[in-house]
Amino acid sequence: MTKVIFFDTKPYDKVNFDKLKAQYGVDITYVDSQLDEHSAAMAKGFEVTCAFVNATINKNVIDQLVESGTKLLAMRCAGYNNVDIQATCDRIRVVRVPAYSPYAVAEHAMALLLSLVRKIPHAYVRTREFNFSLIGLVGFDLHGKTIGIIGTGKIGRIFADICNGFGMKVLAYDAYPDPSLKIQYVPLETLFAESDIISLHCPLNESTNHLINHDSLKIMKDGVILINTSRGALIDSDSLLDALRSRKVGGAALDVYEEEKNLFYNDTSTQIMEDETLALLISMPNVLVTSHQAFLTNDALYNIAKTTLQNIQDWKNGAPLVNEVCIDCKNENMPLVCKKKVHP
């Protein structure tokens, strides 16, 4: 049996991992703590460490994992921007789950958009109090509106299909456009200027960090709607807050937030919110925030468990790691599949 320590455990994580672990020959120890510099020592004696999207896996953490005997870092998520890949080179192999359910995330993005523009949360709260007034609940049709989609990977493509179904005009931008797609690609500045709604589906890296900022917001239409189900740091939160106050942005629906690490996935309802920017965003009637839950469907959780356990089994058996991330692959021009011939 392969011994795995499983950080940042939630009840919904355990269901499918417990169902499948015997099939893959894996013995899992669950802990509540996120993986970071303070908790990394808990991995001592485990061949495999499994972590999630909000873990802090810097060089210090990698050093501790190496010292503790970890040989494989299995990320049960698609993103790996929180992992110091350079520090893992020739020391720990890193695998991820590149696609668990792109439909789940794309559908959540549309759910956020519909909820925001039709003011569903406000209507729900009113009727719970038997207030059936419609004053203040006027929305707008999506049909005929122009939506700009930034990032046309699997999620972005599915979201584009959904938007086409609503009769929207779809514009798209991608650093590496796919000419085989029947999508109208435009320069980023054109997308900013012509879109009524902008939805983010691109990865977070040096070129996309704070892609939505003071300067890009100035190019956008007055009253633009912003949707983010990708990574929080794609949006400069302070710039967004200013744009909401000035009415430049008509509304924002956020499933991610750039400072979410110690907030999302935790119950902080009995604590004073120290993050003033997030507190102000949530307080606004035209902002909708969910807690990084776009992936959270039964289908996606099963696929995450299955792929993660398959990654671990492949490593144990010396098979090719098709979902490996390494320093050779960090360049976006290359696929996220390891090209190295020799590994420790």
**Residue 334 confidence class, pLDDT cut points 50, 70, 90:** very low
User: What is the dihedral sign for C-alpha 120, 194, 158, 296?
Assistant: negative
| Residues designated catalytic | 231, 260, 292
Helices first, then strands: H and E counts in the chain: 11, 13
Q: What's the average model confidence in pLDDT over 169-196?
A: 96
For the chain, give the mean pLDDT: 93
Q: Is the pLDDT of residue 261 over 90?
A: no
**Residue 284 confidence class, pLDDT cut points 50, 70, 90:** very high
Domain 102-289 adopts which CATH fold? Rossmann fold (3.40.50)
Q: What's the average model confidence in pLDDT over 51-78?
A: 94
Query: 332: exposed, middle or buried (C-beta count within 10 Å: 0-12, 13-18, 19+)?
Result: middle
- Examine domains 2-100+297-329 and 102-289 and report if their fold is the same: yes
Q: Is the pLDDT of residue 109 over 60?
A: yes
> 11 or 99, which is more confident?
11
Task: Report the pLDDT value the prediction gives residue 145, as an integer from 0 to 100.
Answer: 98
**Residue 265 confidence class, pLDDT cut points 50, 70, 90:** confident
Q: How far apart are CA 245 and CA 107, in angstroms?
A: 28
Q: What's the average model confidence in pLDDT over 228-251?
A: 97
Q: What's the average model confidence in pLDDT over 220-244?
A: 97
**Residue 328 confidence class, pLDDT cut points 50, 70, 90:** low
Of 70, 72, 73, give the one whose Cα is nearest residue 56: 73
Query: 143: exposed, middle or buried (C-beta count within 10 Å: 0-12, 13-18, 19+)?
Result: exposed
Pairing of strands 93-95, 169-173: unpaired
Question: Which residues, in sequence order, are bridge partners of residue 3?
Answer: 27
- The CATH architecture assigned to 2-100+297-329 reads 3-Layer(aba) Sandwich (3.40)
Under a CB-based contact definition with an 8 Å cutoff, are residues 260 and 267 in contact? no
Under a CB-based contact definition with an 8 Å cutoff, are residues 217 and 248 in contact? yes
Task: Report the pLDDT value the prediction gives residue 339, as an integer from 0 to 100.
Answer: 47
Share of the chain above pLDDT 90, in %: 86
Q: What's the average model confidence in pLDDT over 301-326?
A: 95
Map out the domains of the chain as residue ranges. 2-100+297-329, 102-289
